[in-house]
Amino acid sequence: MTEAERDFAWTRKSMSNFDHSQDEGFEDDLRAGLRGHHAAWNFNGQVWYDPDAELFREEVWVHHVVAAERSARTLEELMRVVNDEFGWD
């Protein structure tokens, strides 16, 4: 990852495995080009919207290393896909 790729604007909103929800306005912020977080016990995700593919994407980090990248049409589906693989806690 280049330095330019790390310099994204981030939303303060997120989605969380604590209560399996997303903050109000999170989807709107992602669609506006911001990045967000998916907080979980076993992993941390960086989430964004890809307008060209019309998909939400998540880069999943485990122990400070990128473990995978997953995508889905909705945030709810993305959370399910990631959680099914990396854990619901």
**Amino acid, res. 35:** R
pLDDT value for 4: 46
Tell me the per-residue pLDDT of 51-88, one tens digit each, with 9 for 90 and over. 999 999 999 999 999 999 999 999 999 999 999 999 99
Read off the pTM. 0.89
Long-range CB contact pairs, 67-73, < 8 A, 24+: 67/43
Tell me the per-residue pLDDT of 19-46, one tens digit each, with 9 for 90 and over. 999 999 999 999 999 999 999 999 999 9
Q: Which two tokens stand for residue 83?
A: 């959680």
> How many domains is the chain built from?
1
Give the residue numbers spanning the domain of 31.
Answer: 3-86
DSSP string, 20-53: TEE-TTHHHHHHTT-EEEEE-SS-EEEEEEETTT
Residue 71 forms beta bridges with which residues? 57
